[in-house]
Amino acid sequence: MSVNGKRILLGVTGSISAYKSALLVRLLVKAGADVQVVMTESAKAFITPLTLATLAKRPVFSSFVQSEHQSGGEGSWTNHVELGLWADVFVVAPASAHTLARCANGLCDDLLSAVYLSAKCPVFFAPAMDLDMYRHPATVENLRRLGSFGNHIIRAEHGELASGLVGEGRLAEPETIMQVLSTFFDHPKPLLGKHVLITAGPTQEPIDPVRYISNHSTGKMGYALAAAFVKAGATVTLVSGPTGLPLPDPAIRRIDVQSARQMFEATQAAFAEADVLVLNAAVADYSPAHPAEQKIKKKEAHFSLELTKTTDIAATLGAQKKPGQLLMGFALETNNERENALKKLHTKNLDWIVLNSLRDTGAGFGHDTNKITVIDKDGQTHEFALKTKAEVAEDLVNIVAGNLVS
């Protein structure tokens, strides 16, 4: 199905990357979409309304009142409410730092922001700005707020910027935005409007500036879960330990951490706004009590390392869980699998525990497959055959979705 026959409202704001909006309109129209462009006044300095109107085959709107020349007669009112109701999706690309700030804070001083506040459809923001602006705490907070409202964020890409700097801030390529929209329309959206927080990968606990304690987790299962939840319509925040994995979907907000403490702090900070928390990361249970500031030299035949227990993320957040929030934990076991999993389920106030065993061929760290058993807080058990981790992720999304809609 993709975007064919879909009504796409495209918001264009004042950014040098506005030239890419012409390419995006062209791709959407060729794919069979009906495109209506709304521009800010500052966007006209970068691309003309005539260009976008010609490509979209529709007049471009930029103000509440169209002039006589624009309307072909007397001045006419542009109804922002009707535009918001007309669209299947509203895509703001490029979304400048100024527009992000206005929308995140509910300001309504132009047509585009009025349409945003009136829109009943899903909204996608594709930010574009210079590196330092994109990294600024104000922009980071505005993107976080927009995501917490249920909007979708198409992350800016890394590359050469108009300023000559190299880094994050480039508008996602039109082909990438098309891919995001196609995925959105092609997949059922049972979790639309829900915020899912996922932890993934290992943690690294420093011994000295060179060495650390870690485990064999690759993050594959957590990243597959993030991709599956996005496809189901959820807004996804992924707190990731060190991995070599690429972000599976540009709509995912990834927070990179290294240590167990950093993972706890990042997860706790985002927990209050989450409807679902999926604790998939392999977090270290112990960390060196006194990491050395300099590299430890090899001298003695025996070396002792004092360890201290790390914060139990599942238990801490399980105790903070509010009514309506759902928690899913994972238990990778080598013996007494079910007994250990049930203990974790109940002592940490989880709604589900996902059990897998290193004794099962093809399950555990490093594989592209997994074999799981899911036990819920009421004692019901769901056993699954060996599947790819992408398929396992789909199964877990279905379990969560079934609970949220029931």
Burial class (CB within 10 angstroms; exposed 0-12, middle 13-18, buried 19+) of 298:
exposed
Handedness of CA 57, 60, 65, 67 (dihedral sign): negative
For residue 295, say whether it is annotated as part of any ligand binding site.
yes
CA nearest to 278, candidates 207, 231, 319, 223: 223
Inter-residue contact 143 to 111 (CB < 8 Å)? no
CA nearest to 236, candidates 218, 221, 248: 248
Q: How far apart, in whole angstroms, are the C-alpha atoms of residue 221 and residue 367?
A: 9
Inter-residue contact 2 to 184 (CB < 8 Å)? no
Provide the phi-psi class of 228: left if phi over 0, else alpha when psi is between -120 and 50, else beta.
alpha
Q: Could you confirm whether 215 is annotated as catalytic?
A: yes
CA distances from 362 to 247, 303, 387 (A): 24, 36, 9
Q: How far apart, in whole angstroms, are the C-alpha atoms of residue 226 and residue 254?
A: 10
Cis amide leading into 94 (omega within 30): yes
Q: How far apart, in whole angstroms, are the C-alpha atoms of residue 359 and residue 356?
A: 9
For residue 348, say whether it is annotated as part of any ligand binding site.
yes
Largest pairwise CA distance in the chain: 92
DSSP, residue by residue, 11-53? EE-SSGGGHHHHHHHHHHHHTT-EEEEEE-GGGGGTS-HHHHH
CA nearest to 168, candidates 147, 199, 143: 143
For residue 330, say whether it is annotated as part of any ligand binding site.
yes
Of 79, 215, 398, 403, which residue is the catalytic one?
215
For residue 344, say whether it is annotated as part of any ligand binding site.
yes
Q: Could you list the active site residues? A: 215
Q: Which residues are annotated as part of the binding site for CTP?
A: 285, 295, 330, 344, 348
Q: Which residues are annotated as part of the binding site?
A: 285, 295, 330, 344, 348
